[in-house]
Amino acid sequence: MRKSLNPNTDTIAAISTPIGEGGIGIVRLSGPEAKAIAERLFPRRLSHRRLVYGHIIDTSGEVVDEVLVAYMAAPHTYTHEDMVEINAHGGPLPLQRILELVLRGGARLAQPGEFTLRAFLNGRIDLAQAEAVLDVIRAKTAASLRLALQGLGGRLSKPVKTLNAELTSVLAYLTATIDFPEDEVPPQDIGPTLRRAQAAIDQLIATADSGMVYRQGVRTAIVGRPNVGKSSLLNCLLRENRAIVTPIPGTTRDTLEEIVNLKGVPFILVDTAGIAVSKDLVEHLGVERSHRAIEQADLLLWVVDASEQLTAQDEEIKAFIGDKTTLVVANKADLPRHASLTHLAWPQVSTSALTGQGIPDLERAMVSTVLAGKIITSDAPLVSNPRHKDALERGAKHLTATLASYEANLPADFITIDLTAAINALGEITGETVAEGLLEAIFSQFCVGK
């Protein structure tokens, strides 16, 4: 269980580089004793923002590793606390030995995300920026990385804080009218401010669906009956032979996932087993997983064999798809066409996974479908986090109620109820009004050492 979220006075430490072998590994310390603990293991004097060469020595005088050590004094650090980073050789053994010595020297092991949590608690970054740190780490495409870096730089935080400041000013005015006689508080028309704030929130909410596509990716299931070319289509989209392809129906018996970058949008492609009735236990389990993949998908690529008429199996798949967002992929366009697909309501793209015909058209259709034809290229604030979208929607709802109460000339104390709720909702985005339990949930997603 995480300790109290009040600013800590202890010193934390962790390995901040991935597990495994590498050229360099880093043991990071943060807290008031970071410098003292490091200097007990590293018999060289550390200076602010100086990289010092030397060796880590254990209590018996044995050399543990040859290292470079950087000391950074508060408040000019990631956490706004004294920090030390020990750059050692990137093997698991030397890093673990150094960490053990650091912990023995008085530090405690950091919890997941605790360095970033301290940066938030100490006021270096707000909560939206802290979440953007995780988005930077998890970015799957250049576009999602760019959006994460914008969030880290405060691209969303700044307008939200501006809105909250304006609404707080309105709340202060309303509170004054309640607390003081009318002749002491000059009248104000708060309607224009409320309407501007509502329009600004609505504009942010309008970006959310596209923003979350870039951040989270689009889970895309490639479905169809056996031997229509699903795995071949996956290989075409990936530009590599990732899935096994044979003329034998039922080659794919399990789901296979890969990520492809299309116009900056990460698509998580899920190749599924052909959906058909089978007495083979393994094939039956594969079909069950295909059904689950359809249920969990954001987008379906329903692959049909355009060289044949639709079969009863195709019709069963059509019924199972239901109202899922779907693109019909009329595959095997290199063969004479016999399938009649005019009765299908979904958009259709003709392809040949054998020759590559129509693959660029399919890629454009996939991107257009999930972004409604809009590619995000501007530097305007973009909402890409479901938590932020939820907070904005709640803020907008309360602001609508606030405006309705004001226009109905209801008493000021009645108007302040929804206005306060709107301010609190917006404050959840930047962390000004966030509950401790939510912080626990957010920072538990981070790796230890970040």
Of 1-10, 22-31, 99-108, 244-253, where does mean pLDDT reach its minimum?
244-253
Is 156 found in the same domain as 102? no
Does the structure show a pLDDT above 90 at 195? yes
- 68: in domain: yes
Is 396 found in the same domain as 268? no
Does the structure show a pLDDT above 50 at 322? yes
Is 180 found in the same domain as 56? no
Q: How far is CA 281 from CA 113, 209, 278, in A?
A: 44, 40, 8
Q: Among 278, 234, 277, which Cα is nearest to 256's?
A: 234
Q: pLDDT band for 378, please (50, 70, 90 cuts).
A: low
Tens of pLDDT, residue by residue over 128-147, are: 999 999 999 988 888 888 88
Looking at residue 41, what is its pLDDT? Answer: 94
Is 365 found in the same domain as 276? yes
Gap between the Cα atoms of 28 and 70, Å rounded? 10
Does the structure show a pLDDT above 70 at 249? no
Looking at residue 244, what is its pLDDT? Answer: 42
Distance from chain centroid for Cα 374: 20
Gap between the Cα atoms of 229 and 17, Å rounded? 41
Does the structure show a pLDDT above 50 at 267? yes
Is 347 found in the same domain as 398? no
**C-beta of residue 210 within 8 angstroms of C-beta of residue 217:** no
Percent of the chain with pLDDT over 90: 52
Domain at 398, CATH number: 1.20.120.430
**C-beta of residue 109 within 8 angstroms of C-beta of residue 67:** no
What is the overall mean pLDDT for the chain? 86
10 Å CB burial of residue 63 (0-12, 13-18, 19+) is: exposed
Q: pLDDT band for 375, please (50, 70, 90 cuts).
A: low
Domain at 340, CATH number: 3.40.50.300
Q: How far is CA 191 from CA 228, 387, 400, 408, 420, in A?
A: 60, 28, 11, 11, 16
Looking at residue 288, what is its pLDDT? Answer: 67
Could you say which of 125, 142, 163 is where a domain stops?
Answer: 125
Mean pLDDT of 223-250: 72
- 43: in domain: yes
Q: How far is CA 235 from CA 95, 189, 228, 241, 248, in A?
A: 40, 62, 14, 5, 17
Mean pLDDT of 179-188: 77
Q: pLDDT band for 245, please (50, 70, 90 cuts).
A: very low
Does the structure show a pLDDT above 60 at 323? yes
Looking at residue 255, what is its pLDDT? Answer: 59
Looking at residue 111, what is its pLDDT? Answer: 93
Looking at residue 109, what is its pLDDT? Answer: 96
Does the structure show a pLDDT above 60 at 79? yes
Task: State the residue for tokens 């954001």.
Answer: 298
Q: Among 8, 278, 245, which Cα is nearest to 118's?
A: 8
Is 221 found in the same domain as 180? no
Is 393 found in the same domain as 366? no
Does the structure show a pLDDT above 80 at 252? no
- 325: in domain: yes
Mean pLDDT of 207-224: 87
Looking at residue 297, what is its pLDDT? Answer: 86
Q: pLDDT band for 380, please (50, 70, 90 cuts).
A: low
Cα-Cα end-to-end distance for the chain: 18
Could you say which of 125, 145, 163 is where a domain stops?
Answer: 125
Strands of 50-57's sheet, edge to edge? 50-57, 63-72, 83-90, 22-30, 12-15, 108-109
Tell me which of 108 and 271 has the higher pLDDT.
108
- 265: in domain: yes
Looking at residue 274, what is its pLDDT? Answer: 59
**C-beta of residue 34 within 8 angstroms of C-beta of residue 11:** yes
Is 332 found in the same domain as 229? yes
Does the structure show a pLDDT above 80 at 438? yes
Is 424 found in the same domain as 287? no
Domain at 117, CATH number: 3.30.1360.120
Tens of pLDDT, residue by residue over 288-312, are: 666 787 888 889 999 999 888 888 8
Does the structure show a pLDDT above 70 at 199? yes
Of 28-37, 118-127, 206-215, where does mean pLDDT reach its minimum?
206-215
- 2: in domain: no
Is 120 found in the same domain as 103? yes
Is 267 found in the same domain as 151? no
Could you say which of 125, 158, 174 is where a domain stops?
Answer: 125
Is 401 found in the same domain as 419? yes
Does the structure show a pLDDT above 50 at 284? no
| Domain interval for residue 61 | 12-125
Percent of the chain with pLDDT over 70: 88
Gap between the Cα atoms of 258 and 347, Å rounded? 24
- 442: in domain: no
What 3 state SS string does the chain have? CCCCCCCCCCCEEEECCCCCCEEEEEEEEECCCHHHHHHHHCCCCCCECEEEEEEEECCCCCEEEEEEEEEECCCCCCCCCCEEEEEEEECHHHHHHHHHHHHHCCCEECCCCHHHHHHHHCCCCCHHHHHHHHHHHHCCCHHHHHHHHHHHCCCCHHHHHHHHHHHHHHHHHHHHHHHCCHHHCCCCCCHHHHHHHHHHHHHHHHCHHHHHHHHHCEEEEEECCCCCCHHHHHHHHHCCCCCCCCCCCCCCCCCEEEEEEECCEEEEEEECCCCCCCCCHHHHHHHHHHHHHHHHCCEEEEEEECCCCCCHHHHHHHHHHCCCCEEEEEECCCCCCCCCCCCCCCCEEECCCCCCCCHHHHHHHHHHHHHCCCCCCCCCCCCCCHHHHHHHHHHHHHHHHHHHHHHCCCCHHHHHHHHHHHHHHHHHHHCCCCCHHHHHHHHCCCCCCC
- 90: in domain: yes
Global pTM value: 0.80
- 4: in domain: no
The total number of structural domains in the chain stands at: 3
